[in-house]
Amino acid sequence: MIQYLYDLLVAPMVPEMWLFALIVPVFFLSGFIKGTVGMGQPATAIGLLVLFVPLHQAAIFTLLPGIFANLAQGTRGGYFRVTIKRLRYFYLANVLAVWFGTEILTSGHNTAVKLTLGILLLIYAANGLMKPLPTLAPQTERRWAMPMGAINGFFVGITAATPFPGVPYLYALGMPREQLIQSMGIMFLLLGTILTLSLWQQGILNYTDLLFSAIAIAPSLLGLRVGAKVRVKLSQEAFRKLFFCILIGLAVYIMITTLLQG
């Protein structure tokens, strides 16, 4: 029995145990950031992991931690039904478009995809630093729901990370803070679930990478919990600015190294 469990759970990971030392701190940090500002987990994790592994593999590592974290975020807050009703067209467009994006993610054009990731992270972070944030009038909200959802889902499918322009769109709706955080959790949960199904359909998921993804759940949830506690003690605005500034630096580094390697 012990040998069977070893062969099932441990043996497949032995040749790549260095990934364990990478995954634990990366997912603790990304969970901490999400717990503090309510977003940033996939962008942080993918942005760091892609410096060491191919983008599609980094995407697989983020699948299970993202689903678990966003399940908690998306189902808490007391706004679930009203948010689904209000944003149903936006969510639907996200779900449909992410399938097309993953076709590019898994196409083998790693240089182009990594460069796209860097550019989108840069735009996402620069938008996050904008003050004042743009707003949408109620009468134009539904008009933009499908286009913003489709673009966002497509970009998430390509990069598995960048929620642009989805997050700015949700901010522009002027929802109460708790509803905003819950709406982002629902969006990320839907995208993560469909991304997982899409990668499975294309035969990209493998047992070893899913094991590492499962390992990443614990440090991710621990970071999420610590970040939630720290959130009440820190200036969230200052932390948000620091996060986006670091993300800009990471995006520039990804683009420079990708161009030099290409």
Structural domain total, the chain: 1
| 111-135 tens-digit pLDDT | 888 888 889 889 888 888 887 777 8
Read off the tokens for 242.
Answer: 């620091």
- Cα–Cα distance between 36 and 226 in angstroms, integer? 8
Least confident of 12-16, 81-85, 143-147, 185-189: 12-16
Q: What is the pLDDT of residue 12?
A: 53
Q: What is this structure's pTM?
A: 0.83
Q: Taking residues 74-92, report their average pLDDT.
A: 92
- Tokens 């620091």 label which residue? 242
Written as one string, the DSSP assignment of 147-216 is HHHHHHHHHHHHHSS--TTHHHHHHHTT--HHHHHHHHHHHHHHHHHHHHHHHHHTT---HHHHHHHHHT
What percent of the chain stands above pLDDT 70?
93
Q: What is the pLDDT of residue 19?
A: 83
- Cα–Cα distance between 46 and 11 in angstroms, integer? 26
- For residues 129 and 182, the answer to whether their CB atoms sit within 8 Å is no
> Which residues form the domain of 209?
2-261
DSSP-assigned letter for residue 10: I
Give the angle subtended at the CA of 74 by the CAs of 55 and 72, to the nearest 5°: 85
Q: What is the pLDDT of residue 262?
A: 60
| SS3 state at 137 | coil
10 pLDDT above the threshold of 60 = no
Q: How confident is the model at residue 15 (pLDDT cuts 50, 70, 90)?
A: low
Residue 154 exposed, middle or buried by CB count within 10 Å (0-12, 13-18, 19+): buried
Q: Long-range pairs for 175-181 at CB < 8 Å and ≥24 separation? A: 175/79, 176/79, 178/77, 178/78, 178/79, 179/77, 179/79, 179/82, 179/83, 180/38, 181/38, 181/73, 181/77
| SS3 state at 227 | helix
| 29-60 tens-digit pLDDT | 998 888 887 777 888 898 889 888 888 888 89
Q: How confident is the model at residue 6 (pLDDT cuts 50, 70, 90)?
A: very low
